[in-house]
Amino acid sequence: MPAESSRRPTLTIAVIGTGPRGISVLERLAVRLAEGELADHTVRIHVIDATEPGAGRVWRTDQDEWFTMNTVVGQVTMYSGVPDGGPARPGAGPSLGQWIARRAATHGEPALDADDYASRRRYGQYLRSVYRTILDHLPTNVEVTEIRGSVTSVVAASRGGYALELDCPPYLIDADKVLLATGHPRNAPDPHEAELLGFAERHPGITYLCGDSAADMPLSVRDIAPGGTVGIRGMGLSFYDVMLSLTVGRGGTFEQAGNGRLRYVPSGLEPRIVTGSRSGLPIPARGRNQKEPDHTFRPRFLTKEAVAAARKRRYSATGSDRLRFNEDVLPLLLKDLDHVYRSAHRASGATEPLPPLDLHALARPFKDARFDSPAAFRDRLVEVMREDLAQAALGNVAGPLKAALDVLRDIRNVVREAVDFGGLHPDSHAEEFQRDFVPVNALLSAGPPIERVEQLLALVESGMVEVAGPATRFTADEATGRFRIGSPQVAGSDRAAETLIDARIPTPDLHRDVSPLARSLRAEGLVSEFIHEEPVSGRTRATGGLNVTMAPFHVVSADGTVRYGLYALGIPTEHTRWFTQVGSGKPGLNTLFRQDADAIALDMLRAARDAARTEPATLVAGRAA
């Protein structure tokens, strides 16, 4: 190293996890460094990922093509600015759709329209291209070390900063700033899961797979024999991934059967699938996209100003500004949905009466129903799915139902204003928001492409997939040595299975995360759980979420100290913040995804010029000030 460089002050940054959140911070660091921030420093960045640096585990580039995204490619970008006529670089680069179009023209790769959906592998390739572009445009005073491995511990160093241990060379790293962008956790089994695992261990030939990404599950013919019965718990997005792995992944195909319907042609290598969930309804399809990439929804009722006014009213009435979701937030949200619903209906010129918009009825269509046979339930399920597909085909602008439900996605940032960082009364957050609203919102707003639901419908009609019914029970039957799947609302629905797969994505929980890194952070007291507290009564509720301050999301340690050099972003902070699994920005918009990344990048670089701060955090009613 030249003598001049060795005399420069040095800032060392470690980014743990390089899925979309980690890459977003790297991109904003690169923008600010290119603009001259810390030009008089040597900046060393360690990029650490156990699976694939630049893509991460969920988006890794070696997974199968049938694992797809649920956002159209035209609305996805990892660059914080749109192309400006110059070369792609941090702050000015193509969206996923533009990148795919360019690759189709220059490399002969498959083309996609802006309103199509890409595979997760294709998105991983895009992430890798963004990552390489970041590296190619860093100033000469920035050094990057890429490490494919896991961080096993983080310890506060006595001289300041942090010491990181890894399971691969160089084994030990010192860093001034550390970002935790570790994504989905690997949790210890809960009591029910432990019971099912124990059952499988006691019975040869029986398999239980806990919730995980389907791409990481053993689902091949070698792992699950053809001809048997597989139970799948949960019918959300991950269910579709497991379903396709056991059908298309076994050589089955879909073909047009006329009338716009699909027919499944089996390969003979498939197992029979029995599935179910609390609602008994597979997650419905997203509406056909009719929105421009930079579309912005402007709420009329649930605005930031309305949330602030509600807080003032609560404080005046109770001495606490904690909101009640069902009283202060949900009515305004429903007004916005209803306005879009009725506006789209009027714009369509339709004359028939418009039924009321009832989210709970849409999400729980079989709630109080009883069926005298599996065939009777299947017939009703097919009716519901076909009606949903018809609504989805109308689109998310012209179709009243899907236009209204898309508001649930578009209005998330305002909902966050109400609920994040303990914004709700603890009881309201746990019962009204987390227990009642969040599952309904997830079911109705985060669905797969239309094609996926059409494929499931074909599998149901072929008999390859059977949906047990609502309130599905998944139990272990010691008498038969098999798992049992059945619905108490469908007579004769009980089925036996040799394999049971939990297709639900694990819920982030600081205390259940079994990774060595999570264990180390807990043992060292560097992290703490976010606790909902009601300041007037003093009542509290644990959440399982990682406690962080508001932007730039410093971690709050077990003794209440703000760790100014330690940041956490994304899924580990779920429950402190809401819906942190967002994996991209939108072209041309200053989205919260971009703002989060920039807040951390700015703080990392600005703090390098400041003296280290170690004063305790000031906590106000459960929220870091």
Rounded Cα–Cα distance for residues 573 and 578 (Å): 8
How many alpha carbons lie under 13 Å from residue 461 in its C-beta half-sphere? Answer: 17
pLDDT value for 534: 85
* Residues with Cβ within 8 Å of residue 221, at least 6 apart in sequence: 250, 269
The whole-angstrom separation of Cα 244 and Cα 252 is: 9
Cα 556 versus chain centre, distance:
23
Whole-number pLDDT of residue 481: 96
| Domains, the chain | 3-186+510-624 (3.50.50.60), 191-283+460-502 (3.50.50), 304-366+383-445 (no CATH)
pLDDT for residue 535: 85
Q: How far is CA 119 from CA 192, 247, 540, in A?
A: 33, 17, 42
Low-confidence ranges of the chain (pLDDT < 50): 1, 3, 611-625
Rg over alpha carbons for the chain, rounded to the nearest Å, is: 25
| β-bridge mates for residue 485, sequence order | 474, 495
Q: How far apart are CA 326 and CA 525, in angstroms?
A: 36
pLDDT digits (tens, 9 = 90+) for 578-610: 999 999 999 999 999 999 999 999 999 997 776
Task: Report d(CA 423, CA 429) in Å as an integer.
Answer: 8
